[in-house]
């Protein structure tokens, strides 16, 4: 039989890499192979397929015997679905002011889920029990949205990482106030790799009730999952997922990607490599006079301050984003496919662009 004809053409240079986002990376070859394996023939739709069923066992191996995975399309969808499942219509969620759900999801948690975000400024992107208490009040006040959940991001939007002890303290504090804890884990793999602990040490072992498990930033084509750990804290997940337009008909193609990442150690290999490249980048940047690293480099992101005009010139050579343009703060992200040569070329370009600023 002749191979199927394709008229698809490559429209990009696969050798070009940037530091804008780990979302820019392609899919890991093992994930692509898994997609091909799942293709062909018919499988029951909407999650009753063999791949989604097998994913449940894999998720339980990481997050405990009560864990249940609900695959979704993307990270915003995962967060919106998860937060709806642990709040009432009058509920509110306490989060860091810098949290992804607050600054990078287009208001989806509030507009689509109908809940209120109660934000707290943090110096490093991390909540503490004391910071939570700034918003944890007024449960009987009908004039105020009721705090019903705390959401933390691991790793944070500033590239910092919560330790297991810090998460445990947050969970105990939230539970004592009758609130549940959601973990936005789009980069949970990077945090676990950074701390050299299993993902369970940052979730079910320390009291997290529900999490958004990331795949896209760590080698998947697309796809995340809401993982319910505490079944008593969650209501009507199936209905909420459908109502939120996150129910995939051909769910096997989401589930098999997560299976490829989490069945063995691909998630860890990818995350560990991205973290190592961020450390290499940070070491190179520290040697460049006039550039300041703003936050501890604990996962796969480097935040730095440099002259604005230097940043603009450098952006013409490598893609990346200004994090706080007024302050001259930029964000450089590494991915599973970032190479040492990519990092070294970027550092060399940074040195070249910084040279005119110090003449």
Residue 1 confidence (pLDDT)? 60
Instruction: Look at residue 357 in the predicted model and tell me its pLDDT.
Output: 64
Sign of the torsion formed by the C-alpha atoms of 273, 275, 277 and 283:
negative
Cβ distance 215 to 258 under 8 Å?
A: yes
Q: Cα angle vertex 244, ends 225, 39, to 5°?
A: 50
Give the pLDDT band of residue 7 (cuts 50, 70, 90).
confident
> What average pLDDT does the chain have?
96
CA-to-CA dists, residue 38 to 11, 35, 59, 70, 77, angstroms: 27, 5, 19, 18, 24
Averaged over 258-282, what is the pLDDT?
A: 98
Three-class DSSP category at 333: strand
pLDDT tier at 356 (50, 70, 90 boundaries)?
Answer: confident
- Domains delineated in the chain: 29-262 (3.40.640.10), 266-358 (3.90.1150.10)
SS3 readout for 174-237: HHHCCCEEEEEECCHHHHHHHHCCCHHHHCHHHCCCEEEECCHHHCCCCCEEEEECCHHHCCCH
Give the three-class secondary structure for 144. coil
308-318 pLDDT tens trace: 999 999 999 99
Structure tokens at 14: 């696969």
- Provide the pLDDT confidence category of residue 11 given band limits of 50, 70 and 90: very high
What confidence tens digit (pLDDT) does each residue in 200-238 have? Answer: 999 999 999 999 999 999 999 999 999 999 999 998 999
Mean pLDDT of 33-43: 97
Give residue-wise pLDDT tens across range 184-202: 999 999 999 999 999 999 9
Q: Per-residue pLDDT averaged across 112-125, rounded? A: 96
CA angle 161/162/165 to nearest 5° reads 150
Question: Do 62 and 201 meet the contact criterion of CB atoms below 8 Å apart?
Answer: no
Give the mean pLDDT of 49-56.
98
């Amino acid at each position: 039989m002749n191979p199927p004809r394709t008229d698809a053409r490559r429209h990009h240079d696969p050798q070009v890499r940037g530091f804008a986002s780990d979302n820019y990376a392609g899919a890991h070859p093992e994930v692509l192979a898994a997609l091909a394996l799942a293709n062909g023939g018919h499988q029951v739709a909407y999650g009753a397929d063999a791949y989604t069923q097998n994913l449940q066992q894999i998720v339980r191996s990481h997050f405990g015997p009560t864990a249940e995975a609900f695959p979704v399309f993307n990270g915003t969808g995962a967060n919106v679905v998860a937060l709806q499942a642990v709040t009432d219509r009058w509920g509110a969620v306490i989060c860091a002011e810098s949290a992804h759900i607050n600054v990078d999801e287009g208001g989806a948690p509030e507009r689509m889920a109908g809940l209120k975000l109660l934000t707290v400024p943090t110096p490093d992107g991390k909540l503490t029990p004391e910071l939570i208490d700034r918003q944890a009040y007024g449960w009987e006040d009908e004039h105020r949205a009721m705090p019903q959940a705390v959401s933390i991001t691991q790793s944070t939007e500033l590239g910092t990482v919560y330790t297991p002890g810090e998460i445990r303290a947050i969970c105990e504090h939230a539970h004592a106030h009758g609130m549940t804890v959601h973990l936005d884990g789009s980069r949970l793999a990077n945090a676990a790799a950074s701390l050299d602990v299993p993902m369970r040490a940052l979730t079910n072992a320390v009291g997290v009730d529900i999490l958004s498990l990331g795949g896209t930033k760590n080698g998947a084509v697309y796809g995340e999952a809401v993982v319910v750990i505490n079944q008593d804290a969650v209501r009507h997940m199936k209905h909420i997922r459908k109502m939120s337009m996150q129910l995939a008909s051909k769910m096997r193609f989401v589930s098999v990607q997560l299976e490829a990442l989490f069945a063995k150690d691909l998630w860890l290999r990818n995350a560990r490599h991205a973290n190592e490249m961020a450390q290499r980048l940070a070491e190179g940047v520290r040697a460049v006079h006039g550039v300041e690293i703003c936050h501890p480099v604990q996962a796969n992101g480097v935040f730095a301050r440099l002259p604005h005009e230097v940043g603009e010139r450098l952006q013409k050579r490598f893609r990346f984003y200004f994090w706080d343009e007024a302050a001259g703060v930029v964000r450089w992200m590494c991915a599973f496919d970032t190479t040492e040569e990519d990092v070294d070329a970027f550092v060399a370009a940074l040195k070249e662009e910084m040279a005119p600023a110090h003449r």
